[in-house]
Amino acid sequence: MIEVLWDVIFPQRNCTLCHASGFFSSRRPWCSHCEQCLEDLKSNQYICSKCGKYMEDDLQVCLDCQESKPLFSIARAVGPYEGGYRQVIKQFKFLEKKKLACRMAQMMADVVIDTPGYWPLDVVVPVPVSQEGMISRGFNQSELLARRIARYIRVKLMPEVLVRIKMVPPQRDLSREERKKNLINAFAVPNNEWVKGKNVLLVDDVYTTGTTARECSRVLYDAGANRVSVIAWAAGKGF
């Protein structure tokens, strides 16, 4: 509903990705050429059957997951963290094009709907934003996505289930090991009753090293969740 209003008040005359002119909307923020490019980027790619990362070879399971099996049951993304997928996340997150959440969430919901490994589901939970992100952007991008995904798949949204309890320095420049250490005990479930016995869909914008998704899953399982699965807009490369 809000999107419809947005589209009326702020009509979009250019493709978000290639800037070609035309008539666009929150449901169709990019042109059919760019839509095809996104489609092509993800087709014919090998993905890790566990975490959904994109791989050069058909290994079935990436080295990360072979080394230490994630607790979550399945993680998938709409596409690889490159090209248009990367551009979209940049615009959404850093240029605050919140309207993009509409189409992004729809594509994420489609992946969940079409992948049997996700079902059944009871609650949708966004990854809580870091203080750094909240201060610089003032919104939690994962919650914007989660809210719409919950609506599309008709599953209850519960953003209060997971909270950040630790100030975490920016993750960007850290090694994988440092990231992992950094995130230990960064999240908590304030009330175990909210997740006890529930099948949880965790929503994140990007799945890169997987440390955040892994740590959130651990906390959710500790609180008594029955099953945790993860959906992201884009996933990084696995080896």
Which tokens belong to 68? 């230490």
Contact between 31 and Zn ion by CB under 5 A: the answer reads yes
Question: CB 135 → Zn ion: shortest distance, Å?
Answer: 32
Contact between 5 and Zn ion by CB under 5 A: the answer reads no
Give the interface size with Zn ion as a residue count (CB under 5 A): 12
User: Which residue matches tokens 């969740």?
Assistant: 225
Question: CB 83 → Zn ion: shortest distance, Å?
Answer: 12
Q: Please select the residue that binds Zn ion; options are 38, 41, 47, 65, rule is CB under 5 A.
A: 65
Q: Of 164, 239, 187, whose CA–CA distance to 208 is shortest? A: 239
Q: Of 194, 202, 191, 192, whose CA–CA distance to 228 is shortest? A: 202
Contact between 62 and Zn ion by CB under 5 A: the answer reads yes
Distance of CA 126 to the CA centre of its chain: 8
Contact between 203 and Zn ion by CB under 5 A: the answer reads no
CB atoms within 10 A of CB 150: 23
The residue among 129 and 231 lying less far from Zn ion, judged by its C-beta, is: 231
Which tokens belong to 40? 């092509």
Q: Please select the residue that binds Zn ion; options are 7, 17, 201, 211, rule is CB under 5 A.
A: 17
* Residues in Cβ contact with 203 at an 8 Å cutoff, skipping those fewer than 6 apart: 108, 124, 125, 126, 127, 142, 143, 145, 146, 149, 230, 231, 232
Contact between 41 and Zn ion by CB under 5 A: the answer reads no
Question: CB 193 → Zn ion: shortest distance, Å?
Answer: 32
Contact between 50 and Zn ion by CB under 5 A: the answer reads yes
The residue among 18 and 113 lying less far from Zn ion, judged by its C-beta, is: 18
Determine the Cα–Cα distance for residues 54 and 48; give it in Å rounded to an integer: 7
Question: CB 19 → Zn ion: shortest distance, Å?
Answer: 7
Question: CB 132 → Zn ion: shortest distance, Å?
Answer: 27
Determine the Cα–Cα distance for residues 157 and 45; give it in Å rounded to an integer: 31
Contact between 216 and Zn ion by CB under 5 A: the answer reads no
Q: Please select the residue that binds Zn ion; options are 38, 41, 47, 48, rule is CB under 5 A.
A: 48
Binding site for Zn ion (CB under 5 A): 15, 17-18, 20, 30-31, 34, 48, 50-51, 62, 65
